[in-house]
Amino acid sequence: MGKLNVNLCGIPLDNPVIPASGTFGYGYEFAEWYDINRLGTFSFKGTTREPRFGNPTPRIAECESGMLNAVGLQNPGVRAVIEEELPRLQACFHKPVMANISGFSVEEYREVAQALSECEQVGWLEVNISCPNVHGGGMAFGTSPKAAGEVVRAVRAVTKKPLIVKLSPNVTSIQDMAKACEAEGADAISLINTLLGMRIDLKRKAPVLANTMGGFSGPAVFPVALRMVWQVYDAVKVPVIGMGGVSTAEDVVEMMLAGATAVEVGAANLVNPYASLEIIEHLPEVMERCGIESLEDIIGGAHRT
């Protein structure tokens, strides 16, 4: 059987498949269905300093080949995550976990990162910079290279753990965003977060989502995500984690050929709780069919043809 293992920022993974933040809870929920230690790792639910109820409902809408969500970072807050969620996870998951952090100010990012960095279970910090900067007029940190760099610099100053920055696709130049994050100390770049979208209910003649707009994810966004992974791989020297519409083992291989060291699976987990496991199980078959002996050998391989 081919070699599925990869290395992400100095931490070995048995395979490159990582359920994405917001689609896998805090992990133990899925442990009721299968042994989640079969995953490479997973990125837990986006965590903020204070508890958040999230946006009003309805905040989920189905679309052809995808879905819209405007959940609004619902989470119990970082203290509850450390004191309650991580101990529950420790009972069923025995690998380093990826901590996804969010914030509405640079100081909040710094505080959440510092708190989670002290947790032995946490292997990597994944910093979601798609949040609106409440002190900067509401524009998302992830739409400005300068603002993104400020967040990365602040988080870098309080942690020695591998720092992954999760980029928004809602920008003019994804390469400039990635370069700004790398320059301030990011150890890896993950992309893409959701695309901004909306739907209108014809009967009510009003937006489907209470928040009007939400994040669009699912198979329809895969070509956009793949293109951005390709561009960022060329733009930076740090590892890239690809995500966006990944739902099959073939998608994982395609992402890795475009430049991804590891691949996150998002919306597919909400449709099928076994999605990430099934992708891992099908990878050896796809590797054999494509003549691949080791997944590490194909990272960025399409750039070399």
- Kindly report whether the peptide bond that precedes residue 192 is cis, defined as omega within 30 degrees of 0: yes
CB 128 within 8 A of CB 113: no
Cα separation, 28 vs 30, whole angstroms: 5
CB 165 within 8 A of CB 119: no
DSSP string, 117-171: HT-TTEEEEEEE--SB-TTTTT-BGGG-HHHHHHHHHHHHTT--S-EEEEPPS-S
The tokens for 191 are 């992309």
CB 267 within 8 A of CB 29: no
Strand 240-243 to 188-191 pairing: parallel
Contacts of 305 (CB under 8 A, 6+ apart): none
Cα separation, 40 vs 19, whole angstroms: 9
Selection from 7, 185, 51, 44 nearest residue 121 by Cα: 44
Cα separation, 190 vs 126, whole angstroms: 8
Cα separation, 236 vs 181, whole angstroms: 10
Please identify every residue annotated as catalytic.
131
